[in-house]
Amino acid sequence: MEQVIQQIVNGFALGFIYALIALGYSLVYGIIRLINFAHGDIIMVGAYVALFSYLLANLGFVPALIVAMILCSLLGVTIERVAYKPLREAPRIAALITAIGVSFLLEYGFQLFFGPQQRAFPKFFKTVHYKVGLLSVTNEQIFILILAVFLMLVLNFIVMKTRIGMAMRAVSFDKDAARLMGINVDNVISATFALGTALAAAAGMLLGLYYQQIDPLMGFTPGLKAFISAVIGGIGSIPGAMIGGLVLGITEVLVVSLGYSTFKDGVAFLLLILVLLIRPRGIFGEKVVEKV
């Protein structure tokens, strides 16, 4: 029993990372209805930027985090402008194929330039174990938790309380009406990409801390799992992404601890298909009415 609770505690850290990625996914999906497959690979780019800013400039965790977030925002906006914007009016399948292309370009481009091998992710601080009753918690886990929650609160504030956030909600509700109201839709979409990819960069660093190693293909699977979390929680809902991420993270850790680690990645998809069959709009999702 203690072991199960211990695993759930471990699952929390992973779950919060998934939730962070899921938020970015959900944000972008909400505004242009595109599964940005490249979102997962932005995670990888974020982790690499952090790694190199540590190796080359010896930056600490928070400066490296800021550098990674800024560079990834720029990358995200560039991808949006170059690859997705020309296809905004095209059939959705065209944009999806392009997104897959961008994702593969990032993965294999990084393999070409930085090699396919795994690299050790720097330990930005010394691991300390805390004993709480029978459970053991590391300071990294606590840190992941605090940072994830902090970023979620910031995101919630931006989306709910600021002008640009209001514009984002308007565009995601009805793009054409928003344009008629004088909102610069292109800029709002770019801002959304910047915000979403910045979250992905942060998640990349946390993922690096969690697994302690990074490689060019590290982002794809967590990216998909984050999308699954977003679907479980209900696309477009911030608490939904959090709950979905936690459900998935904890399930995954439990499956591994039961000795079925080879089935780890299969379970997430199984969960997805179940949710889609039973409650396609997710836990917190709103019912979408088909408009003609």
Partner 1 sequence: MIEQFLSQFMSSYQIQILSFIGIFTILAISLDIINGYTGQFSIGHAGFMAVGGYVAAYLTFYHQIPFVLATIAGALTAAFFGLLIGIPTLRLRGDYLAIATLGFAEIIRVILLNLDVVGGARGFAGIANLSNFDTVFFFTIVSFLLLYNFTRSSYGRALQSIREDETAAECMGVPTTYFKVLAFVVAAFFAGLAGSLYGHYLMFLHPNDFGLLRSIEILLMIVLGGMGNLWGAFLGAIVLSILPEALRDYQGIVYVLAVIYLIGVAISYQKGKQNLVRWFAGIVVAGVGVALLLIYGKELIIKYAGQMRMIIYSILLILMMIFQPSGLFGLARDLTLPLRRRLRGVKA
**Residues that bind partner 1 in the complex, under the rule CB under 8 A:** 29, 33-35, 83, 86-87, 90-98, 100-105, 107-109, 111-112, 220, 224, 227-228, 231, 262-263, 265-266, 268-270, 272-273, 276-277, 280, 290, 292
Q: How far is the CB of 30 from partner 1 (least distance, A)?
A: 12
Measured from the CB atom, is 60 or 86 closer to partner 1?
86
When the beta carbons of 41 and 140 are compared against partner 1, the nearer one is: 41
Q: Are the C-beta atoms of residues 172 and 235 closer than 8 Å to each other?
A: no
With residue 209 as reference, give the H or E element that holds it: helix 185-211
Nearby residues of 285 by Cβ (< 8 Å), 6 or more positions away: 233, 234, 235, 236, 237, 240
Q: Which is nearer to partner 1, 85 or 179 (CB)?
A: 85
Which token pair is 243?
Answer: 């709950």
Give the ranges where the chain is alpha helix by DSSP (H): 2-32, 39-57, 61-79, 92-114, 139-161, 163-173, 175-180, 185-211, 220-233, 238-257, 264-278
> Is the CB of 97 or the CB of 146 nearer to partner 1?
97
Smallest gap from Cβ 263 to partner 1, in A, equals 6
Rounded least distance, CB 229 to partner 1, Å: 12
Please, which residue, 29 or 210, has the CB nearer to partner 1? 29
Does residue 130 sit in helix, strand or coil? strand
Query: How far, in Å, CA of 150 to CA of 29, rounded?
Result: 22
Max distance between CA atoms of the chain, in angstroms, equals 60
The C-alpha atoms of residue 206 and residue 212 are separated, in whole angstroms, by: 9
Quote the least distance from Cβ 80 to partner 1, whole Å.
13
Output 47 or 255, the one with its CB closest to partner 1: 255
- Cα of first residue to Cα of last residue in the chain, in angstroms, is 53
Query: Least distance to partner 1 from the beta carbon of 27, Å?
Result: 15
Tell me if residue 115 falls in helix, strand or coil.
Answer: coil
Counted residue by residue, the chain has a size of 292
CB of 134 to partner 1, least distance (A): 33
Phi, psi angle pair for 290, to nearest 5°: -70, 125
Spatial contact of 15 and 225, defined as CB atoms under 8 Å apart: no
Least Å distance between CB 34 and partner 1? 7
Which residue number, 35 or 178, has a Cβ lying nearer to partner 1? 35
To the nearest whole angstrom, how small is the minimum distance from the Cβ of residue 257 to partner 1? 18
**What is the helix (H) or strand (E) element at residue 138, kind and residue range?**
strand 135-138
Q: Which is nearer to partner 1, 147 or 241 (CB)?
A: 241
Closest to 154 measured CA to CA, from 238, 225, 235: 238
